[in-house]
Structure 1
Amino acid sequence: MTEALAPAVTQPAAGSAVPPGDGADPIIINPAPHQMSELAFFLGEYRGLTSDVPDEGPLKVITKTASILDGNWYQMQMVMPTNTETGTVVGWWNFGWDSVALQYVAQWYDNLGSYGTATSPGWVDGHLRFTGEYTRVIIAGGTSGVSEGQVIKSIDDFSFVAPGHLRDDITYLVDGKWEPCGVIDLHKVEAAG
């Protein structure tokens, strides 16, 4: 018995949410909400440093952000090489607009196994604050599947020092008080051409 060959699969246009197919079953695409323009500063590449990390000093940080799913989400890859056996930490932020709760939402996950979700009302007095809860992996368990870490409440407070100079002040809720945890200082990399 001869098996039928699967139809050839074509790739959708870059940034499109339309899956490949013959078009017989059109998918209604949801245009990006206008609120996403408030997050457009994330798009492109930034490079910078963290504040001092215990036993390591400042770490380099590179972010690259692209619009995905017809502009409904911005996906940021954040890369931080460390000076420990942890190696390079790679994380992803997905930023979007929650059109039901009418707030911004950010979801984080990384190669250590950390993850979490935060929300923001938007820009207030020059600050874009995302407040959320995260499972923060401190020492990854690898194949054992057992890591060391903690559940934390955190705020990422984004603000501009100057055009193209972005700062993220990070605080954790410790014993009922918000305490500074570190800063990521980033400069926009202008596209060539």
Structure 2
Amino acid sequence: MADSTSFKGTTALRPTAPEDAPSDSILINPPPKQMEQLDWLLGEYRGLTTPVPDEGEMQIIFQGRKILDGNFIEVKMTIPTNTNTGTVVGYWDFGWDSVNGQYVAQYADNLGSFGTVYSPGWENGTFAFTGRYLRVIIAGAESGESQGEWIESTDAFSFNEAGQLVDDITYVKDGKWEPAGNLVLDKVADTA
């Protein structure tokens, strides 16, 4: 008889793994081949931001790793501020939207900003993600009432002649795409 579990008067069969399955996990959906196009996000990059008002240039750290059986790459972005406002930490989850045939990235950070962007993939040496973000400008902290704005944005990733990863950022302002700064990042050598 199958093992069962009771919860508030109901009985359900306990899920079981096949006998030959590895004990740590079961690979439900192997990563699609399109995920190989995002391997440049893996590892660690360090660099500087374009000067930011009241902060100047800030150090930035990108750390990418595969998650969810390789179906996504999570990039942790850390930006220690130059003032006493703390450290900005954001997470990008990059993947392949197999239903709509495009790349997707979802972003969230500790300011409360979030958004979703899409990309067709590499085109003319650039991997550009375009979409909308709710960008928190002044965090509300415990009140839960922040100040911010919805922005249309593109992050156009490429590699320059020196082999650095460059993210050219543009926003829509007054109906026109305008430069909003860039990140220039050097790959940190793998020591493992």
What's 2:172 paired with? 173
Which runs of 4 or more aligned residues in structure 1 lie more than 4 Å from their structure 2 counterparts after TM superposition? Answer: 24-28
What's 2:83 paired with? 84
In the alignment, residue 82 of structure 1 is paired with which amino acid?
Answer: T
| C-alpha RMSD of matched pairs (Å) | 1.7
What's 1:93 paired with? 92
In the alignment, residue 23 of structure 1 is paired with which amino acid?
Answer: A
Unaligned runs of 5+ in 1: 1-20
Aligned-pair CA distance for 1:87: 1.0
In the alignment, residue 99 of structure 2 is paired with which amino acid?
Answer: V
Aligned-pair CA distance for 1:164: 4.3
Kindly indicate whether the alpha-carbon contact (under 8 Å) linking 2:27 and 2:69 is maintained by their aligned counterparts in 1: no
Taking the aligned partners of 2:114 and 2:85, their CA distance within structure 1 comes to 17
Taking the aligned partners of 2:43 and 2:36, their CA distance within structure 1 comes to 14
Taking the aligned partners of 2:163 and 2:78, their CA distance within structure 1 comes to 19
In the alignment, residue 79 of structure 2 is paired with which amino acid?
Answer: M
Higher mean alpha-carbon deviation, 53-62 vs 121-130, is at 53-62
- Once the two structures are superposed, the pairs formed by residues 25-64 of structure 1 within 5 Å of their partners are 29-64=28-63
Taking the aligned partners of 2:81 and 2:149, their CA distance within structure 1 comes to 20
What's 2:72 paired with? 73
- Once the two structures are superposed, the pairs formed by residues 1-193 of structure 1 within 5 Å of their partners are 23=17, 29-162=28-161, 164-193=163-192
TM-score, normalised to structure 2, is: 0.86
Taking the aligned partners of 1:45 and 1:51, their CA distance within structure 2 comes to 19
In the alignment, residue 31 of structure 1 is paired with which amino acid?
Answer: P
Which protein shows a greater Rg?
2
In the alignment, residue 175 of structure 2 is paired with which amino acid?
Answer: G
Taking the aligned partners of 1:123 and 1:32, their CA distance within structure 2 comes to 19
TM-score, normalised to structure 1, is: 0.85
Unaligned runs of 5+ in 2: 1-14
Q: Percent identity?
A: 57
Taking the aligned partners of 2:27 and 2:45, their CA distance within structure 1 comes to 34
Aligned-pair CA distance for 1:29: 1.0
